[in-house]
Amino acid sequence: MFVNTDLPLWLGNSVLVTVVVTAGRVLLDSMAGYALARLRFAGRRALFSAIVAIMAVPGVVLFIPKFLVLNQFGMYDSYTALILPVIADAAGVFIMKQFFDSLPVSVEEAARVDGAGVFRTYWSVVLPMARPALLTLTIISFQGTWNAFPHTLVAVRSPKLFTLPRGLADLVTGSLGKDTQYPLKLGAALPATLPVAVVFVVFQRYFVRGANEGSEKG
């Protein structure tokens, strides 16, 4: 069915982009969330308000500005364009900030008494306690990045850089996708859906536990 297609290439691109973006979001969003929750600096409240405001902006509004920025900085049609603009997101920062706010400050104070700095406290003390929130963020980021389609429309145009959703969309709407082509569409849905389903099943208990802990603390 997928003979003479670039399906292995699209799959490889999706794996690369998804792994890098998910790892980047978990690290950067948790660091930003911790800074907003614990560090005191000028403009902290205004910055958090801006992050919340960004969450309310429809993604479609940012398509043209995103394309112009990528083109202006010479990143258009590259792996950098696929990864860098989405390597951190406002929703992830919000999730981590709210979770860190729920943790007792006394644990961090004990670490600082022992001589731990801000980053050491974050990395060695706070981050292990945030595993439910980190796993929740990992699942959300993996699912969102793996299925991301609109971003690829403004980030790349070369078929060699297509991720799985972009490649499959091009496949089922191109010459092979004329008429009803249900076998082709159903076959294309399998590699796009299976990894997300596996990740959710594997980490489901952690995801549910994190959600329950957040509701109890709230």
pLDDT higher than 90, residue 19: yes
Residues in the chain: 218
pLDDT higher than 50, residue 172: yes
Q: In the predicted model, what is the mean pLDDT of residues 50-56? A: 92
Q: Which residue has the higher pLDDT, 3 or 141?
A: 141
Residues 6 or more apart whose Cβ sits within 8 Å of residue 41: 35
| Six-digit token string for 42 | 């000028």
Mean of the per-residue pLDDT values for the chain? Answer: 85
38 close to 108: Cβ distance less than 8 angstroms: yes
Q: State whether the Cα torsion 117-24-16-67 is positive or negative.
A: negative
29 close to 89: Cβ distance less than 8 angstroms: yes
Report the share of the chain in percent with pLDDT over 90.
51
Tens digit of pLDDT for each residue in 88-136?
A: 999 999 999 999 999 888 888 888 888 888 999 999 999 999 988 998 8
Tens digit of pLDDT for each residue in 62-77?
A: 889 999 999 999 999 9
> What is d(CA 167, CA 205) in angstroms, rounded to the nearest whole number?
33
